[in-house]
Structure 1
Amino acid sequence: MTVDKIPKTMAGVVLTGHGGPDKLVYRNDLPVPRPGAGEVLMQVGATAINNTDINTRIGWYSKGVTTGTDAATSSGLASARHEDASWSGSPIAFPRIQGADCCGTIVAVGQGVDEGRIGERVLVRPMHAPSTTSRPYELVTFGSECDGGYAQYAVAPAHETFAVESSLTDAELASFPCAYSTAEGMLERAELKAGERVLITGASGGVGSAAVQLAKRRGAEVIAVCGEHKFDAVRALGADRLVARGTSLLEVVGADSVQVVVDLVAGPQWPELPELLCRGGRYVASGAIAGPLVELDVRTLYLKDLSLLGSTWQPRHVFENLIRYIERGEIRPQVAKTYALAEVHQAQQDFMTKQLAGKLVLTVAES
Structure 2
Amino acid sequence: MMSVPELIRWSFSKKPKNLLAITEHFGETLQDLFKFLEILELIESSRNCNFLNLQYKLVEESSSWSNFLSFGSELFFANEFSRHNFSVELILKSKDCWNKEGRQIPDFSVLKDKHKFFIEVARISGDETTSEVAARIRPLIRHSSFCVGIKYSEDFSFPVIKSNERTDRQNLIDKFVNEFEKILKTLDSTTSLPKSEDILGCRVTFTKPLDGKRGYYRGCVTDAINLPEEKLYQHIASVIELKAKKRTTWDEPKKEIPYLIALDIQQDYIFQDRLISLLFGKRCHFIDSQPQYSEPSIVSDAKARGWQEFLEKVGFSQQIQSPVTDHGLLIRNEIICKNVTGIIARIGGELHYLPNPFAEEPINSLDIHALVPGKKA
Name the TM-score, length of structure 2 as normaliser. 0.27
Max Rg structure: 2
Higher RCO, 1 or 2 (CA under 8 Å, sep at least 6)?
1
Name the TM-score, length of structure 1 as normaliser. 0.28
